[in-house]
A = this chain, B = another copy of it.
Amino acid sequence: MSEIIVMKELLGENKRIAEENREIYRKDHVLMVNIMGAPGAGKTTLLKAVCAELKERGIASSVIEGDLYSSIDADDFNAKGVKASQINTCGECHLDAAVIKSGYDSLDFKNGICFIENVGNLICPAEFDLGEELRIVCASVPEGDDKPFKYVPMFSYVDAVVLTKCDLKEAVGFDSANFKRGMDAVNDAPVFETALGKNVSGTDSGIKALTCYILERYAK
């Protein structure tokens, strides 16, 4: 019982800070995009590709990296010239609006698109509004085609889905029709398919389509 009360208080306080965040992003002309997904779903690889695509189009981007421990990903972004700040949750399973507030402050970023790479977790992050305008979940093909059926809160929470590692569909026997059935049952969000593996060459049309989708939201 007391757990439920504390959780409600926590979520209420989180919501209040999220609304403050949203107001700041609006004033700064920043589109905040929350990228969620299971561990190893391909969030970092996706973000690198989208940031590169945005750069080609002259749009500034930055990243707030959430991880339990380590700064592997933020270091990598900074090395590639994308402004990134690292948040270590020290074991916490999600990011909340307060930690994003401090991560955003340390970025010193305006007029562009800022991505939050959430902690690798297909459950808990769907409970915490961070003040973002756009919510995207990455689901990778090797995770299986039944995920929308099993992780309903996340797949119904998001504005868009990115199905990553599509080059592995045949290798793992991914049933696209079953995935679509699961999606149709919970959400009418668009699904973008990408294949950015180390062994894939050429331009990825899914990344271009996703970038256009994000830019449409940025223009609003």
Contact = CB atoms under 8 A, between A and B. Distances in A.
Interface of A: 2-3, 6, 9-10, 38-40, 67-70, 72, 91, 93, 119-124, 140, 142-144, 146-147, 149-153, 165, 167-168, 170-173, 197-199
Contact of A39 (B122, B124, B197): B122
A151 B38 CA distance: 12
A183 to B, nearest CB: 15
A172 B150 contact: no
A153 B86 CA distance: 19
Contacts of A147: 39-40
Nearest to A4: B6
A72 B150 CA distance: 9
A104 B171 CA distance: 36
A91 B136 CA distance: 19
A144 B143 CA distance: 12
Given A122-B120, A173-B199, A151 B39 contact: yes
Contacts of A121: 93, 121-124
Nearest to A89: B123
Contacts of A39: 38, 122, 143-144, 147, 150-151
Contacts of A69: 149-150, 152
Given A3-B10, A91-B153, 15 more contacts: A2-B6, A39-B144, A39-B151, A40-B143, A40-B144, A70-B150, A72-B146, A72-B149, A72-B150, A91-B123, A120-B123, A121-B123, A142-B142, A142-B165, A172-B199
A172 B143 CA distance: 14
Contacts of A67: 150
6 A-B pairs with the lowest CB-CB distances in the bound complex, closest first: A40-B143, A173-B198, A142-B142, A93-B123, A38-B39, A40-B144
A214 B121 CA distance: 28
A152 B67 CA distance: 11
A24 to B, nearest CB: 25
A10 to B, nearest CB: 6
B68 A151 contact: yes
A70 to B, nearest CB: 5
